Structure formats: structure tokens, C-alpha cells
Chain A
Amino acid sequence: MQITAQEREKLEALCKKFRRKLIDVLHAKQTGHPGGSLSVCEILVSLYFHQARLNPKDPRDPARDRIVLSKGHAAPMLYLALAEKGFFPYEEIDTLRDFETRLQGHPSTKDTPGVELSTGPLGLGLSASVGMALGLRLDGSGARVFTILGDGELNEGTVWEGAMSAVKFKADNLTAILDWNGVQLDGTTADIMPTGDIGAKFAAFGWNCIPCDGHDLSALCAAYDEAASVKGVPSIILARTVKGKGVSFMEGKNTWHGSPIGDADYQTAIAELA
């Protein structure tokens, strides 16, 4: 469903709130991954607050849609969305990566309400999502599975094994979203392991590909609808994003994949996000 200007404003406000809180928490903790959390912000906000049918009062509701953050290092942004949604108290974000916290360094189903799959080791989320989607289909469920991949993650061969399987088994209740920020830990994807024409690759594997601006909330919401309308094959939304989006000195920089935020940088970032 096309979002209204009013809803878009609401979602944009959430993105702004989450970005500020993310920088606050990662600065306070001196650990965690800012770059990939900032790039995936609009994707998570559009899924959690517009698209997905979820039930925070009953996190295990069988009818719920499943959101899988395969690029698990963006956990801080996932936790912000889950907390805002009501899966746990918002203040709990301040326990990120703490000793004995429910908010582990990477998403953990047994610890955190609302987390659908424990991720962190890259390359496994898509395959697991195919299993989820096929299991839901066996039950006649109308639930959809949304799986967020990183582009560095595409280096992992299992992603392509999962991609083949999704097509073979006609998992059209599965929508992958690629957080295509072009940067991985050691450098740009072009330098570290060129991914080439990702759209052509997924299309060659038989996927329905939907190009999209990954920071445009309206475009993302429209893409989820388009994916739902295509039957018989899985869809992937190729969401072009900027690593570190919203903090000028972090944008496009691999050095901000997982670096602690110093006090001076923190002040600059918060000023930009005001």
C-alpha cells in the first residue's frame, strides 16, 4: 500500500530518532557496528512500522510475518526497531552488549523477544529463510518472510545455494532485501570482492529483482507490494544504500564498519542528526 505523506513523516521521524539513539549507545558502549546499522535504518523502519504483520504481545504468534536480519552485525538498529515496536522496553537499548544483557552483540533468538533468527556468521540467513518460507507454506500460512542481506555477505557461497533453493521451491512468500551499501569491513566491495552486476546475477538465478533507493521509505514500501504481487518466484529488493548514512564523516567509509566512536566524533555526529 502506498504510504501517505503523513505516514512517511512518521517513519522519517522514527529513522531520525533511531539514528540518534544508535550513535548515543555506540558512543557510550565503545563497541558495535555503526556503518551497517545506519545503512539499514530505512529498510528496518519500513518493515517493522509499515509492512510486516507482527504481534509484540505474542512474539511467537504463528501468523506473524518473519523478519530475518541476515547481516546480524546491524543488531543495534534491529533492537531499536524491536524496542519501539514494544517487544521489550526502549530503555533496555542502553544495555547493548553489556554483561548479562538480553541484547547480545549479534541477534539471538533465545535472548531477545522478537528476534526471528540468530545471525552473525554471514551467509546463512537466506537459506534458513527458505526453510521458514517453505514450512509456512506447508501450513497454508499467508505469512511472509523478509530477509535482509548485506552486500559483503554475498561473498559467502551459501547465499547462492539459498538463492537456487528459493527458486527451485518457488518460495514466493520470501522477499530478500539487499542493503547494498557497497562497503565491507576491509574496504569497498569493489576492492575486496567485486560483486559485479548483482541484479543480473539474481535475475540469472531466477529471482524477481526490484531496484530501489534504500533510503526512500515510499520506494521501499512500494517495493514490498510489488514483491507480493509476483507469484511463483522469490523477489529481491536491490536497495541502494549508503554505509554510515546520516553521519557525513562515516558515509561510504569502511573504517566505520565497527569502530568505536570517540568524543569529538560523537559531538559532530549528534549535531548533524539534530
Chain B
Amino acid sequence: MAKSIREAYGDALLACGRENPDIVVLDADVSGSTKSSTFKKEFPDRFFNVGIAEANMTAMAAGFASVGKIPFANTFAAFISTLGLLPARAFGSYSKLPVKLMGAYGGLSDAFDGPSHHSVEDIAIMRSLPNFKVYVASDAAQTHWLVRHAVEDHAPMYVRLSRDVFPDLYAPGESFLDGKGRVVREGRDITVIACGILTGFAAEAADDLAKEGLSVRVVDMFCIKPLDTELILACAAETGAIVTAEEHSVIGGLGGAVCEALGEAGAGVPVGRVGLSDRHAECGPYKKLLAKYGLDKQAVISAVRATLARKI
């Protein structure tokens, strides 16, 4: 059984913390959930639990960044992208202070806590901030790379994580290029551009559809901003149809970003978007929620068929 994204994150943060004494970690009373507690155990002097005060945490992170520290601020994605937004905007976006805002429990992964704790709009919110880079972890190995990248890249960042286990896509130690999507399945008929848990589901969908003779390309677009427009346009030109897939509202997230890129280029290919259709979910078992709200392998397969039918 693979590690959950949050466990992979906790391990990665600790590993980076051992190498770089400038890393400081903040949490808003959910360190047991976010797994920033892993760092705390070894480096209590560089760990700051600010209590249930997300705006304060994000502003404090900016203060740390202004004196040369690399601050990782941790709480649920739903809260850091809302309560943390004003300081993220004032200090990260406007002043380019390199705050690393880590959105734990992304999407519906905090399943039983319900929509109050799900995050279905965080990507849209954070993507709109000038100067912010935005990432969505698509598997455990990639989570390690993302943490390392956050340490090395001197930019304000938002990284969406998850409570749950994702299908493995990459070998441990895999590295990536910033701003470059990764083709995880080659294909000719259509491209699924995905992020997060949907990347693994899309790969599984492609494998199933291959048995029917359909050739489905799958792109892991873990880097939402800067967006790999070049790859998106190449996929549109080469496969003639696009499906986006994300554990997020279809408004403003990866689907929105891909449509912006295609529209601006006049690519003119049919697009289907897998995501929450402008609604909130409910509480319940994670996998059941993903199925009911159209965020699983089956949803990708349906979207691929529907979009292919529109392909000229």
C-alpha cells in the first residue's frame, strides 16, 4: 500500500528540514492532520503552532520569509485559500515574499467532515493571484519533488495536497520540470489533462479504453501555474480533443486554465471537463463521493466518450 499524500508530505518536509536549516514550519492546530507534526518532532525550535488562526499564520510566514527563512504554512486547503488569502495577496502575491502555502486535505479528501472542509475552489482562488505558482500533487513520489522544489524555488507558492492515498504514477526520486506537464500515457485519439488523484484515474481509464481500441493520451498537469500551454496546444493539434479532470469545481481550476489556453490560441477542439459542476458535495466515504460527484475513473471514461463524439 502506497503512502498517503499527507504522509509523503510529512516525510519530505522532514527530509528537507534536515538539509536546510532555514526551513521553518507553521501550522494552525492541525499538525496531526497535515503531518507537519513529523517535522515538529525533530525540529521543535523551527516549528510554530499558531493555534486556529490561519490569517495570522500566513502573515507570520511572510514575516519569516522577509528575514530569509523558507516558511511552510500548513492547514486545510479550504482554510488557507480563504482565511489565508489576504496575507497571501498582500505579502506573497504583491511583494513576492516566498511563502509556501500547503493546502492539506485538498478536494473531497476530508470526506467525512463534509463540504465545510472540502476544498473545491482553492485552485481557482490561488491561481488568480499574480506571482503565485500553483501546484497539485498527483502522487506520493511527486509530493517529495514538490516539497524540494518549494525549498529551491524562490517564489510564493500554493501546493494542494491530500489526506488520502493516490494511485502511484512515478518511481521514488522522480524529478520534474517546473511549468512542464508530464505525459503519463501516450495516445492519438484524445488527451485527458488531469491533476491530483484524477491523473491516476485518467491513466486507469486510458488503460481500460485501450482494450476497446481507443488511444487516449494522459497528461499530468501537476503545475497549474505557470501552465504548460505549449503541451496543451500540442495535444490539441495532435489528438484533436481534450478532456480536463480535477477534484475541483469546473470553474476556474485546471479546466478553466486549459480552456483559457485553448481559447486564446483559437485551437477550436471539443473540450470536456471532469470536475464538480458548480456545486458542493456532502459527507461520506471518499470513494463513494468521488463516484457520485463524477470525479472517478468512470467519470473520465464518460467524458472521453462524450467528447470524442463531438470530434469532427
Contact = CB atoms under 8 A, between A and B. Distances in A.
A165 B50 contact: yes
B59 A131 contact: yes
A138 B46 contact: yes
Given A124-B90, A127-B56, A127-B87, A116 B66 contact: yes
User: In this complex, which of A131, A135, A139, A164 has the most chain B Cβ atoms within 10 angstroms of its Cβ?
Assistant: A131
Contacts of B48: 134, 165, 169
B160 to A, nearest CB: 23
Interface in A150-172: 157-158, 161-162, 164-165, 168-169
B13 interface: no
A34 B53 CA distance: 33
Contact of B62 (A131, A157, A158): A131
Interface of A: 62, 66, 108-110, 116-121, 124, 127-136, 138-139, 157-158, 161-162, 164-165, 168-169
User: What interface size band does chain B fall in?
Assistant: 20 to 34
B24 interface: yes
Interface stretch (B33-41, B67-75, B134-142, B250-258): B67-75
Given A62-B68, A127-B60, A131-B61, A164 B51 contact: yes
A124 B94 CA distance: 14
Contacts of A124: 55, 59, 86-87, 90-91
B53 A131 contact: no
Contact of B63 (A109, A119, A131, A168): A131
B306 to A, nearest CB: 44
A162 B56 CA distance: 6
Contacts of A161: 50-51, 53, 55-56
A118 B45 CA distance: 27
Contacts of B87: 124, 127-128
B64 interface: yes
Interface in B1-60: 24, 45-46, 48, 50-51, 53, 55-57, 59-60
B64 A134 contact: yes
Q: Could you tell me the dominant secondary structure of chain A's interface residues?
A: helix
Contacts of B59: 124, 127-128, 131, 158, 162
A131 B51 CA distance: 14
Contacts of B91: 117-118, 124, 128
A136 B67 contact: yes
B96 interface: yes
Given A161-B50, A161-B53, A162-B56, A132 B64 contact: yes
Contacts of A164: 51, 53
Contact of B55 (A116, A127, A138, A168): A127
Contact of A131 (B46, B64, B94): B64
A157 B51 CA distance: 14
B60 A128 contact: yes
Contact of A128 (B24, B51, B62, B69): B62
5 contacts: A127-B59, A130-B63, A134-B63, A161-B55, A168-B50
B95 interface: yes
B67 A139 contact: yes
Contact of A130 (B60, B71, B89): B60
A118 B86 CA distance: 12
